[in-house]
Amino acid sequence: MGMIRVRFAPSPTGYLHVGGARTALFNWLFARKEGGKFILRIEDTDLERSSRQMSIQILKALRWLGLDWDEGPFFQSKRLKIYTGIAERLLKEGKAYHCYCTKEEIEERKNKAESEGKAWKYDRRCLNLTKQEKERFEKEGRPKAVRFIVPEGRTEFRDLVLKDIRVKNEEIEDFVLIKSDGYPTYHLSVVVDDHLMKISHVIRGADHIANTPKQIMLYKALGWSPPQFAHLPLILGADRKKLSKRHGETSLLSFKKKGYLSLAMFNFLAQLSWSPGEEKEFYEVKELVEKFSLEKVRHSNPVFDFEKLSWLNSKMISSLPVEKIWDELLPFFEKEGIKDEIGRRGEWSKRMISLVKERARNLEDLASIAKRYVRSDFEYRQDAVKKFWKKDSRERILKLKEAFAKTEPFTADETEKALRDLADKMGVKAGELIHPLRVALIGERVSPGIFEVLEILGKEEVLSRIRRAVKNWGQVLH
């Protein structure tokens, strides 16, 4: 098969969305599995819509997902002379021609054809212009484009995902290679770059399938061998329509901001149209690389299930060691204003996160939970107060405080023994002490095991938080 060389070539006209990210990921997985090269190319020849800021955001998104590139990024806007040179070659070889038709003229002819019930494609008005007509248009300074002459016959190719595809050339109009503003179209620039960059496989979304016959024609006209093509099924929303913003935020970095783990997104995107073939909740990156295969990409369009992604994210937060998620957590600690305190408390902070992460849906949620353990100036949840701070709760909490003050060592086992002994002495169930205590300590209805919470907070902090709760009891209840 030779050296595998694939590319991801986004247009910086907007943020990298999950569809583009899935394409980048499949290219990356294929390159890493086959020992090939992953090239990054920025297709920024649409000057009106492209921006440097979007290019920066795309690079950030790829890095967050964990995708590194071996070559690039290459910017098409810096390669314009190459494309115009190839277009000149096609003109000289009689495989392309100048088109002087204005947008208004084409629109008028198109509307006329449609009003007569005829299908429209460019009518080759400029293909057979006389020398005098060309000179007149040039003298007028009329803008001109370069159109490719679509040959007779048909174009066919073997797609690695969608199998055999055949198209009658007569169904395709003479398409533009160089626009009237002098900039290349997608069809020309992508073919030239893929050839010069020695791309062996073009892996992209199925929305590009209509472009492929045109590009194969260009390869043949230039005497170049086309790469192999693999078109990935389109990602759909829950309504089975192409995924878009109406289904929810779809830019990759928006998921980062919401506290999704990059590994969760990596796993989720990797399994849209492909499966590693085992029943595991999630995989390490190296496992997905080892198992990846284009031949196993499914034809059906996958649905982007936001709930499944959220479930996977929470499952990974719960299951992974704290060290695996720590770096991604830091920005959320900073957002909550506890980053410095978390840093100062070192190993205690990591033990605390290990304790509380099981209940977090995302990193934002986890940092918010952690704040209640780092700081004691939290607000008590009113639903928790109303449910668990009953008439006798204040006195029971005071007695617990006295019992805990005498408890040594202040471990989960010893605090449990102290609480249960007090419950027996008072003739109440342990829950009558545990539930109001939890609200006093962290202000919530739920938490990890209360005795583990007591141990992680430590005696002095527990006694301090109980004193705070008792002091503010009446105010909180009202």
Residue 476 and residue 389 in contact, taking contact as beta carbons nearer than 8 Å: yes
CA distances, 29 to each of 21, 86, 158, 292, 297 (Å): 12, 32, 21, 7, 12
Q: Which helix (H) or strand (E) holds 57?
A: helix 52-65
Separation CA 174–CA 225 (nearest Å): 21
For residue 421, count other CB atoms closer than 10 A to its CB.
Answer: 11
Looking up tokens 């719960």, which residue turns up? 318
**DSSP codes, 290-319:** HH--GGG--SSPPB--HHHHHHHHHHHHHH
Is the torsion defined by CA of 435, 436, 440, 445 positive or negative?
positive
Residues pairing with 236 in the sheet: 242, 303
Is the torsion defined by CA of 88, 91, 96, 102 positive or negative?
positive
Active-site hit among 245, 296, 390, 429: 245
Q: Which helix (H) or strand (E) holds 418?
A: helix 412-426
Task: Give the β-pairing of 176-178 and 145-148.
Answer: antiparallel
For residue 220, indicate whether it is catalytic.
no
Task: Give the β-pairing of 163-168 and 154-159.
Answer: antiparallel
Cα-only R_g, the chain: 32
Of the candidates 286, 269, 287, which has an alpha carbon nearest to the alpha carbon of residue 278? 287
> What φ, ψ does residue 155 adopt, rounded to 5°?
-120, 130
Is the torsion defined by CA of 23, 26, 28, 34 positive or negative?
negative
SS3 159: strand
Catalytic sites, residue numbers: 245
